[in-house]
Amino acid sequence: MEGDIHQLLGEWPYESGRLCVRRIKGQDGRKNLQLRIEMGILQMEITGRPDGDRPHGYESLLHYYRAEATASEEREKGSFTLDSDACLELQMEALQYYHRRITFLEIGEYEKGKRDAERNLQLFDFVKLYAAEEDDRMAMEQYRPFVIGHRVRAGVLQKLEDDEYDGALKEIEEGIDEVREFLADVGRPDLIDESEEIAFLKDWADEIRKDRPKTLSQNLKEQLKEAVDTEDFEKAAELRDRLRTISGN
């Protein structure tokens, strides 16, 4: 039957518990991303809005409403607000970027995944500033720690690929501080110790510290301690000389 996609779904079965993603080249020769979900396949553009739409001629609804806000504020400060329908539209758009973000992270396109995470955080900021109803603001804000976690994950994985261990740890520390600050700002500092995002990032930092390659200085210091403990003073003296040489003292 025309339009039946059962064969296509059968060729790429859904696997529960696993994120199934792939790159494809469309009939027009352009590259796209696909995410296999339980009931079908999501196909996404690599740039711009994931569904390829240009609402009101803009790259995205966020771009459109930003332009509307700027024009409105120029006429009369404080005149622009987002009603519940507009906030729902923006929330649905954010979902598209979420699906593309997790796809980018899965295929190792960390810079692009980080870009999409930052984009949704900007959307949350915009809704927080202009939403007419508090419920609409919080409908977005509740996901902020989760998106911060994805942005940090993308940045850390990118740095680990380049063996930038100190940079990776700094990304994690800044992410933890950002989640803590958010929870304090929304009046829930009591949730800091219960935050899954903070717990995950702390555990990840511990793993990086444990697994990172030791520097020459660290190796020599460990050998020196072992030599002293075993009273091999001749070797200890030699190791001290080597440490002074590499430290310039």
Do 98 and 185 lie in a common domain? yes
pLDDT digits (tens, 9 = 90+) for 27-83: 888 899 999 999 899 999 999 999 999 999 999 999 999 999 999 988 888 789 999
Q: Which range has the worst mean pLDDT, 69-83, 97-111, 174-188?
A: 69-83
Q: What pLDDT, on a 0 to 100 scale, did the predictor assign at position 243?
A: 64
Percentage of the chain surpassing pLDDT 90? 71
In a shared domain, residues 57 and 156: yes
205 within 8 A of 169, measured Cβ to Cβ = yes
Distance, CA of 136 to CA of 26 (rounded, Å): 37
Check whether residue 177 and residue 226 sit in a common domain: no
How many domains in the chain?
Answer: 2
pTM of this structure: 0.82
Same domain, 196 and 239: no
> Over the range 53-87, which residues count as b (16 or more CB within 10 Å of their CB) and which as e?
eebeebebbbbbbbebbeeeeeeeeeebebeeebb
Residues 67 and 170 in one domain: yes
Q: Is residue 76 part of a domain?
A: yes
Inter-residue long-range contacts of 168-175, CB under 8 Å, 24+ positions, other chains counted = 168/208, 169/205, 169/208, 169/209, 172/201, 172/202, 172/204, 172/205, 172/208, 173/205, 175/148, 175/149, 175/151, 175/201
- Same-domain status, 188 and 226: no
Shared-domain flag, residues 155 and 93: yes
Q: Residues 58, 145: one domain?
A: yes
Is residue 34 in a domain? no
Asked whether residue 30 is domain-assigned, the answer is: no
Does residue 245 register a pLDDT over 70?
Answer: no
- Is 21 contained in some domain? no
Does 150 share its domain with 242? no
Domain-embedded: residue 240: yes
Q: Are residues 94 and 107 in the same domain?
A: yes
Q: Residue 241: is its pLDDT beyond 80?
A: no
Average pLDDT over residues 183-188: 92
Q: What is the CATH number for 96?
A: 1.25.40
Distance of CA 96 to the CA centre of its chain: 15
State whether 188 and 220 are in the same domain: no
Same structural domain, 170 and 64:
yes
**DSSP annotation string for the chain:** -TT--HHHHHHS---TTS-EEEEEE-TTS-EEEEEEETTEEEEEESSSSTT---GGGSSSHHHHHHHHHHHHHHHSTT---B-HHHHHHHHHHHHHHHHHHHHHHHHT-HHHHHHHHHHHHHHHHHHHHHBSSHHHHHHHHTTHHHHHHHHHHHHHHHHHHTT-HHHHHHHHHHHHHHHHHHHHHTT-GGGGGG-HHHHHHHHHHHHHHHHSPPPHHHHHHHHHHHHHHTT-HHHHHHHHHHHHHHHT-
Residue 135 counted as domain residue: yes
195 part of a folded domain: yes
Residue 97 lies in a domain: yes
Domain that holds residue 234: 216-247
